[in-house]
Structure 1
Amino acid sequence: MIRDDVVDVLVGMDVPAGVLEDFPELPADVEGVLVYGSQARRDAVPGSDLDVLALVTAQRPSTDSGYVHVSYYTQKQLSTGIGTLFGAHLKRDAKIVWDRYGHLTRAVEDMGEVDTKRLLARARGLSELFTSLDRDLPKYLSGLLRQARYLLRSCLYAQAIAGGAPCFSVRELAVRHGDPYLTHLLASRQPGKATAADLAQCLSRLRGIIGEFPPSEHGSLEATVVNEWGRPSDILSMAFMALGVTGKTSDYAEVEKILL
């Protein structure tokens, strides 16, 4: 009954029936559900996804079902969002849909504020993954583009927070920056295949925020994974996702901790 109860609440939030018909069955260990993003803010447009976060007791990969994206987090994973951009995003925009024990509500309340200077510095460190493109393209174009979008989106959100006008809407950011192409570059649902042109566009805008990328310490994505293996790090998590080993649908829930 969890799925039906959640869908009933979302109907009351005016989430379109055409989106909700794709809402998946939820695993038995789900303890809470929230929605965030455009559907939660009620500024969605036709074709907007429904972003769902489900609190679970056992870690599992995120899923996509039609226009519904569900990320699964354990309490331990979600606690790593304290002081992060994703935590700030949830605290500002999330709507709790169902919370059996109140754990999800408390987790969101505890997220705190994000240190934008630290976030931008960490994003610059992670950008070293884009300095070995001669070795990594075209084999890993899709993963690299997804990670470039992730870092660019994160840095734009951080800029908005630092400027005193928080915003987690890609369309609003495109308007603020007078850059209509951002709406395409950062859209969660991308038509067609990844292109080198879009990667170049993302990296150009990212450099404009954080400066030149530091050189790769290891020389390629594959070498990064080999050399960082055994010492879990943010750069290892990003490299895994860029390689397509994990995180095909999410930039957050497939790794042990929230990165930014």
Structure 2
Amino acid sequence: MADFPDLPADARALLVYGSQARGDAVAGSDVDLLALVDTPRPSTYAADVNISYYTGNQLTTGIGTLFGAHLKRDARILWDPEGELAAHLDALGEVDTERLLRRAWKMSELFTTPRQDLPKYLPGLLREARYLLRSCLYAQAIAAGRPCFSVRELATRHNDPHLALLLASRHSRDASIEDLDECLSRLRQIIGGFPPSTNGSLEATIVNEWERPGDLLSVAFLALGITGQGTDYAEVEKILL
């Protein structure tokens, strides 16, 4: 594949996940890859190929998380000469859906300061709203005993074709307030009213949470469109709902 990003020298294993691994990819679907590495680093992108880099310790934090369950259920190992990646997948376990929904509720406070953050950070906030809504819908499906990690399948189950478009990770149209409002409305139906902001704005969250890295700092960085390259913040922590 001509556009395949070069793997770093410390890469030890590689898997594919998402629609390409499940076999339900459509034209234009990304190829989502995960490489096991020694040193944390930002993801890399080339055309439709996305590679996320995880250390063994980072994968260990995925035990019992939504991302871990996604990998364990759908991922396909491409290269794993020492069997390390297979061992990590085996250890990922089941999802604590109640804990996931509590974390999503806490992170939703980033949507409660629109006067300070919109329209400047609309694309990032919409991206985070989609991320949390997808996560919560996946959690609902797991809690109901019908695991699902496909937005198209969710749309079919909910008899709501528009849901697949709303939740898609790639869009040809610009971010809109209408899409943000719809995502947030649907999210409230699942987790309830959002907690008030403890910081007052996205930018203030970065400043105030800097010394205590966690969910809020991670999603605030991502909403601002920052992934760590060229900054002192070497890598946004993996958010493993």
Shared topology, TM-score over 0.5? Answer: yes
Deviates more, 1:177-186 or 1:48-57: 177-186
Q: 2:232 corresponds to which residue?
A: none
Name the TM-score, length of structure 1 as normaliser. Answer: 0.87
Partner of 2:187: 206
Shift in Å, 1:115? 0.3
* SS of residue paired to 1:106: helix
Partner of 1:65: 46
> SS at 1:64's partner residue?
strand
Aligned counterpart, 2:206: 225
> CA offsets per residue over residues 143-187 of structure 1, 9 Å max, x none?
111111110110010000000100001100011112211111111
Q: Secondary structure at the match of 1:123?
A: helix
For the residues of structure 2 that align with 1:173 and 1:50, how far apart are their CA atoms? 20
| Amino acid aligned to 1:209 | I
Provide the residue aligned with 2:173 in structure 1: 192
Distance in 2, matches of 1:256 and 1:140, equals: 20
2:217 matched to 1:236?
yes
SS across alignment from 2:52: strand
Matched, 1:129 2:123: no
Aligned length: 237
- Cα distance between partner residues in 2 of 1:189 and 1:247: 21
What runs of 5+ residues in structure 1 fail to find an aligned partner? 1-19, 249-253
Match of 1:56 in 2: 37
Percent identity, please: 69
The answer to whether the 8 Å contact 2:68/2:240 transfers is no
What is the identity, as a one-letter code, of the residue corresponding to 2:6? E
TM-fit CA distance, 1:247: 7.0
What amino acid maps onto 2:138 in structure 1?
Y
Matches of 2:209 and 2:22, distance apart in 1: 39
Q: Is the 8 A contact 1:152 1:202 kept in 2?
A: yes
For residue 21 of structure 1, report the CA deviation from its aligned partner.
4.1
* Counterpart for residue 176 of structure 1: 157
What is the CA–CA distance in structure 1 between the aligned matches of 2:6 and 2:199, rounded to whole Å?
42
105, 122, 138: which is aligned to 1:141?
Answer: 122
Bigger Cα displacement from structure 2, 65-74 vs 184-193? 184-193
Q: Alpha-carbon deviations, 1:209-237, whole Å to 9, x = none?
A: 11111111111111111111211121111
**Separation of aligned partners in 2, 1:257 and 1:174:** 27
Whole-angstrom distance in 1 between the partners of 2:240 and 2:188 = 19
CA distance in 2 between counterparts of 1:93 and 1:29 reads 25
Q: Deviations over 1:61-104 (max 9, x none)?
A: 11221111111111111111111000000000000110122111
Alignment RMSD: 1.6
Partner of 1:156: 137
- The DSSP-based 3-state class of the residue aligned with 2:70 is helix
Deviates more, 1:176-185 or 1:145-154: 176-185
Q: 1:22: which partner in 2?
A: 3
Instruction: Tell me the TM-score normalised to structure 2 length.
Output: 0.94
CA distance change for structure 1 residues 49 and 147 in 2, over 3 Å: closer, same or farther?
same
CA distance in 1, matches of 2:184, 2:85: 35
Q: Aligned equivalents of 1:88 and 1:103: distance in 2? A: 17
Paired with 1:92 and 1:174, the residues of 2 have a C-alpha distance of 20
Name 2:227's counterpart in structure 1. Answer: 246
Aligned to 2:59: 78
CA contact (8 A) 1:53 1:73 kept: yes
Segment drifting more, 129-138 vs 58-67: 58-67
